[in-house]
Structure 1
């Protein structure tokens, strides 16, 4: 049995994509987004326990897609919850008792690099957590309630990505609480226990596909990756 798992969360309905099909099932360069994401983790380590969290009503559609695209990478389906927090908790509850490390990843981030995934497991094993982040390129301003804004030093800020990888014992304890509004990602749930998260460098191509414009950029990234091979 492997001691590593990856929970890919894809419980959303994709309303911002303004289309009839949720974003996680849309094809990018001929392959649905979720299949691309699963493939990256499988390429890192074929023994990783891959868990895909979906709305239960989507299970049959996903199985049809797998048959249509002849997608055979081993993975398990877990029913999503009413929020990302609940979906992740469902995924954590499904882990094998032997699993020691788990990467939690947005299913609609298909361009995470293998290097980031590998480092996330290595750092989490040593430090307890590993959160992928990237530096800001643009200047930023902080808005106040009165409409005024103030300059902020961007060097002190990071954009947070996934995967967010943890020692299973710790992240399960962190999720065994009542869901709070400030839980915007898994790192904030972990921090709620009083633990400091460890940051690692993410990769800039690791976009979260949310809007039609993101799909256009995703096609560009996929084409560039193919050309670079």
Structure 2
């Protein structure tokens, strides 16, 4: 079964306190985004990179600078992440196969997690990486806040992987503010979301501290 990977990168550098969009910041000598794309480049997976169009030229210049030659399709991003993912899905001809949708700034992703995602999506229709909470949590309410049992909650990661036909149909519903990720779009279409064990090292690089942590993980 044909495998696709849509890598979505539309972030800015605001929380990184950088003028350079975070996906282009260097991690161990190469832009974060190159590490992410390389992680999905196996088993004839077709890579689709979704970027804001104004960033195309800069990205291409980085590829030339770092001699980055992994093949991928470059697709224009949209107004929101939902629209960017939809553009990526629309760039895939046909409806047969499996597609993993992954944050461009999650470069520390193990091949075993990706393999498991595709395998489970083929079986269940969807496979969403998640991890149990380590910290205690409280919910805010009118009275202030109250304790909730962390056992009943999961932190959601990417890749979020689906049977292509099902996720394409789900995205036909149009954008809603309540969509926080691809799994929420899938669930809204009436499909069941299947969770599987992710990896605590699969962090989303958002702040300078995250970049330091990622460098440590790469060194392991």
TM > 0.5 between the two? Answer: yes
RMSD (Å) for aligned C-alpha atoms: 1.1
1:196 maps to which of 192, 206, 211: 192
Partner of 1:171: 167
Q: Hey, what does 1:103 align to over in structure 2? A: 100
Instruction: Please state how far the C-alpha of 1:12 moved relative to its aligned partner.
Output: 2.0
Q: Give the count of matched residue pairs.
A: 220
- Provide the secondary structure at the position in 2 that maps to 1:70: coil
> Structure 2: how far apart are the matches of 1:79 and 1:13?
16
Q: CA deviation at 1:193?
A: 1.2
Q: In the TM superposition, what is the alpha-carbon distance from 1:18 to its structure 2 partner?
A: 1.6
Q: Does 1:118 align with 2:106?
A: no
**Corresponding residue of 1:87:** 84
Which digits, 9 at most, give the CA deviation of each residue in 1:83-111, with x for residues without a partner? Answer: 00000000000013264110000000001
Matches within 5 A, 1:1-229: 3-42=2-41, 44-45=42-43, 47-97=44-94, 99-146=96-143, 148-224=144-220
TM-score, normalising length from structure 2? 0.97
Matched-pair contact (CA < 8 Å) for 2:96–2:165: no
Per-residue CA distance 1:190-215 (angstroms, 9 max, x = gap): 00012111111001100000111111
TM-score, with normalisation over the residues of structure 1? 0.93
After superposition, the C-alpha distances for 1:117-176 in whole angstroms (9 at most, x for unaligned) are 001101101110000000111111111134x11111111110000000001111011100
Residues 5 and 99 in structure 1, CA contact (< 8 A), matched pair in contact too: no
Confirm or deny: 8 A CA contact 1:3 1:98 kept in the other structure.
no
- For the residue of structure 1 that corresponds to 2:106, the secondary structure is coil
Distance in 1 (CA, whole Å) between partners of 2:174 and 2:105 is: 26
**Contact 1:125/1:166 (8 A) holds in 2:** yes
Residue ranges of structure 2 left out of the alignment (5+ in a row): none
- Structure 1 runs of 4+ aligned residues shifted over 4 Å read none
